[in-house]
Amino acid sequence: MIKMVADIREYSSIVGQAVIDELFYLGDKLKGKIVQNINSTAVGGGVAEILSRMVPLLKQLGVDARWDVIKGNEEFFTITKKIHNALHGVDIPISLDELLYFQEVNRQNADEMDLCGDVMFIHDPQPIVLIERREAIGKKWAWRCHVDFTTPKEGVMAFLKSYIERYDCAVFSAPAFARKLSIPQALISPSIDPLSDKNKELPQETINSVLDQFGIDKMRPIVTQISRFDYLKDPIGVIEVYKRVKRHIDCQLVLAGGGATDDPEGAKVLEDVRNAAADDPDIHVLLLPPAKDIEINALQRASSVILQKSLKEGFGLTVAEGLWKAKPVIASAVGGIPLQIAHKYSGILTYSIDGTVHYLKQLLNEPEYAKKLGINGREHIKNNFLITRHIRDYLLLFLSLYH
């Protein structure tokens, strides 16, 4: 879902005019070229979040950026979620019939879609089989992987590799995800948009009204994790952390998230979370519909501490979102998260429930220290993970495919 974006020139107030001038210079070299992004969901999750900002901003720079979403039924997305989980190292059987169906749905999509990019920019495994059409289309193809590739199950990895290596290049979010491949690989980290509804400054009245709307007490500390309801985000672990901290400190927990159309597991996870929360009135399990950006922004800004206790994580945009708001973030040292947090400098990295409990108590008890982590974190995000840097990396990538 394409969102309203700011004029690209407005970002100069944050990143400086030279950065914007360079984007126009690079965009000009790609003027009129079609960059066709294809992924598997228009809403929910980090990939849709980024594309909803990236595509309109690329257009402002003169690039004919487009975004299409493949279609699939529940059977297809159940299979793609299994592939996703297996790539994240989860032991999960995937049958030959399932892989054949996965290919078939991709081929149906290829028949129905207008594959027209000068650069075909294919995101994640779900639409990866579209590369079979490269001979017919004859343009440049890049595969953009947003998944945590540190410990993939080898069977599914081998299956995907047979497709990945037909692309002109593969793009990963963190150095740890690079694989032995016969094609060039690029490292491009994701980013957040500082001028989006999700990240822009908010008046205190807006923050207060969102807290009122959800019945959250402004006077007591708020600990928040924003995430799709997904086992890999470990919401049950977050509840355990909260319960152990609550014995010592009177705080509230907010677990807020929605689903994604390509994630059929969400309802089951939500049910488990609600059971684990039981009837504790200080645990706020909020099922958010899509596009609740102001609400998410307000919840993050109202938080004393933000958690991201993922078991696997491609990058973790929610970490960057929290840090950009100068919030202390405690996050698992998995996937792309350590790129964003230098332990005890720009946030806290943890490896276990025990560790998370320890640091959450410390940050709630030492607000000055917590504040310092947040301030350093904001600076780190500003220097490395804003959308302007991301656009520059993509423009250079697209240009490199043609030279």
Contacting positions for ligand UDP (CB under 6 A): 45-46, 49, 198, 226-228, 257-258, 288, 296, 315-318, 321
Beginning with the edge strand found earlier in the chain, give each strand of the sheet holding 305-308 in spatial order: 283-287, 252-257, 222-226, 305-308, 329-332, 348-350
Closer to ligand UDP by Cβ: residue 20 or 288: 288
CB 317 to ligand UDP: min, Å = 4
Closer to ligand UDP by Cβ: residue 118 or 172: 172
Cα–Cα distance measured from residue 304 to residue 351, given in angstroms and rounded to the nearest whole number: 21
* Sequence-separated (6 or more) residues with CB below 8 Å from residue 115: 36, 130, 133, 136, 137
CB 263 to ligand UDP: min, Å = 8
Closer to ligand UDP by Cβ: residue 256 or 391: 256
Nearest residue (beta carbon) to ligand UDP: 46
CB 322 to ligand UDP: min, Å = 9
Closer to ligand UDP by Cβ: residue 26 or 50: 50
CB 348 to ligand UDP: min, Å = 17
Closer to ligand UDP by Cβ: residue 49 or 118: 49
CB 151 to ligand UDP: min, Å = 17
Closer to ligand UDP by Cβ: residue 260 or 363: 260
Closer to ligand UDP by Cβ: residue 27 or 336: 336
Cα–Cα distance measured from residue 201 to residue 339, given in angstroms and rounded to the nearest whole number: 24
Cα–Cα distance measured from residue 339 to residue 305, given in angstroms and rounded to the nearest whole number: 19
CB 24 to ligand UDP: min, Å = 27
Strand partners, 275: none
Cα–Cα distance measured from residue 137 to residue 201, given in angstroms and rounded to the nearest whole number: 44
Q: Is 368 exposed, middle or buried (0-12, 13-18, 19+ CB in 10 A)?
A: exposed
For residue 73, the tally of other CB atoms under 10 A from its CB is 9
- Residue where the block lists tokens 């302007």: 388
CB 49 to ligand UDP: min, Å = 4
DSSP string, 205-234: HHHHHHHHHTT--SSS-EEEEE--S-GGG-
